[in-house]
Amino acid sequence: MDDIERKRGVGAGVILAIVAVVLIVAACAFGLIDIDQTKETKLPEVAVQGGQTPAFDVDTAKVKVDSENRDVSVPKVAVSTEKVGVDVPTVDVKKAN
């Protein structure tokens, strides 16, 4: 398997994982999944002594954002609407608990 095929596989896996997370969050938000905590969390006891946080000296570039007025050709489109009878699907969902 060459590098391009491997990168495509990794990209597809990442997209699949993101879609799965979005679907789970949406299902919880719409009440399709009801999750109840049955046991409290207890953190382990940890003792920490000493240590030091890092220090940094950072120089950054200066960025200036501005705008100017320019003439640009923009298409002008006329849109109209019309009412038409259409069969649309209906969904009945019973929330979990």
Q: Tens digit of pLDDT for each residue in 58-81? A: 888 888 888 999 999 999 999 899
pLDDT profile of the chain (97 residues), mean per 10: 66 89 88 85 90 89 88 91 91 79
Residue 59 Rama label (left phi>0; alpha psi -120 to 50; beta) = beta
Q: d(Cα 17, Cα 29) in Å, to the nearest integer? A: 18
SS3 category, 40: coil
Q: d(Cα 6, Cα 8) in Å, to the nearest integer? A: 5
Residue 24 Rama label (left phi>0; alpha psi -120 to 50; beta) = alpha
Q: d(Cα 97, Cα 92) in Å, to the nearest integer? A: 15
pTM for the whole structure: 0.33
